[in-house]
Amino acid sequence: MALRFEVLGRFNRARAAQLTLPHFVSQTPLFMPVGTQGTIKGLTNDQLEEIGCQIILGNTYHLALRPTSELIDELGGLHKFMNWPRALLTDSGGFQMVSLLHLADITEKGVTFQSPVDGKPMLLTPEESIQIQNRIGADIIMALDDVVRTTITGPRIEEAMYRTLRWIDRCIAAHKRPNEQNLFGIIQGGLDPVLRDICVRGLVERNLPGYAIGGLAGGEDKDSFWRVVAQCTAALPEDKPRYVMGVGYPLDIVVCSALGADMYDCVYPTRTARFGTALVPEGVLKLKHRAMATDTRPIDPSCNCMVCKKYSRAYIHCLVTKDAMGSQLLSYHNLFYMMKQ
């Protein structure tokens, strides 16, 4: 185990904690922006530190394709490659293969998919996912899981949950850097409380450095979503971080934190910025809207970020309707907004 997790305060089920990782001491609850390919699109690392970003998520699948995990390893690891001094987390790569690629197929061995390079069938096993992540060198690495959409029902949910439990042992066995990298297990089981319960217990038995609640934010209704989070956080140990995967709407983060979760990741704040949308206390502000053209106010008059201190809605409107620079300013503001949560 290469982390320390100290709960500093509690309010009902919510908690504020300090998460000490090999590269950074983070304060939770925290949001992790997604930097798919070694960069948060449009922002420099100086700006990310200025915003208060503590952990960046890198996508194993994208990094393994380019520049390749072997090259990252040779160049001294992802921290050095992207010149990011703070913490990093990598996903297993499995979800990208299932969601991005055609002909992906899951068997007991692993995830079989068509190589985007030469079209040949390739297999990502739990062992390989961990080996790649060991080379990349993030502070937190994720187990390969069998992800099933929450909108699916039937025996496939059960199969995926049990397979995830079988794969965690292969991941643990394959993990070669447990003193420098923390392997998190992922709870699956769809919306079924019994399956979720079996999975949580199974993972907690393995005494992992941290636990993720997976398979959510995939189209299920909010009540089901929160019910699963509440069930899992209640069953997870108090002294380990709890990460709800793929969650990025500010309201969801507030609710999940109230339920005792600590970590979140999502492309939402940066992707929505690229479409010209800013996060504000009232919800969202669409900067492409014509009314913005003559609006001299900042995006959010109550925000202290560099963009809100320096630029008007009218200026950003002028940029987002044409130039990439507009979405950079919005990404900056949106991530600042998320870090304040």
| Binding site, annotated residues for Zn(2+) | 303, 305, 308, 333
Q: Which residue in 204, 255, 314, 339 binds a copy of itself (CB under 8 A)?
A: 314
CB of 62 to a copy of itself, least distance (A): 9
Q: Give the catalytic positions in this structure.
A: 91, 265
The phi and psi torsions of 323 (rounded to 5 degrees) equal -110, 150
CB of 339 to a copy of itself, least distance (A): 18
Between 1 and 71, name the residue whose CB sits nearer to a copy of itself: 71
- How crowded is residue 174: how many other Cβ atoms within 10 Å of its Cβ? 19
Binding mask 71-110 for a copy of itself (x = CB under 8 A): x--xx-----xxx---------------------------
Q: Which two tokens stand for residue 167?
A: 């794969």
Binding-site size for a copy of itself (CB under 8 A) equals 36
Give pairs for 93-100: CB < 8 Å, separation 24+.
Answer: 93/59, 93/60, 93/61, 93/64, 93/124, 93/129, 93/132, 93/144, 94/124, 94/129, 94/144, 94/145, 94/146, 94/147, 95/147, 96/59, 96/60, 96/61, 96/62, 97/61, 97/124, 98/147, 100/61
Burial 27-47 (b: 16+ CB within 10 A, else e): ebbbbbbbbbebebbbbebeb
Binding mask 4-43 for a copy of itself (x = CB under 8 A): ---------------------------------xxx-xxx
Task: Identify whether the C-beta of residue 291 lies closer than 8 Å to the C-beta of residue 59.
Answer: no
For the chain, report the end-to-end CA distance as a whole number of angstroms: 28
Binding residues for substrate are 91-95, 145, 188, 215
Q: Which stretch binds a copy of itself (CB under 8 A): 19-27, 65-73, 110-118, 166-174?
A: 65-73
Asked if 296 is part of the footprint of a copy of itself (rule: CB under 8 A), the reply reads yes
CB of 82 to a copy of itself, least distance (A): 6
Which residues bind to a copy of itself, rule: CB under 8 A?
Answer: 37-39, 41-46, 66-67, 71, 74-75, 81-83, 293-294, 296, 306, 310-312, 314-315, 317-319, 321-325, 328-329
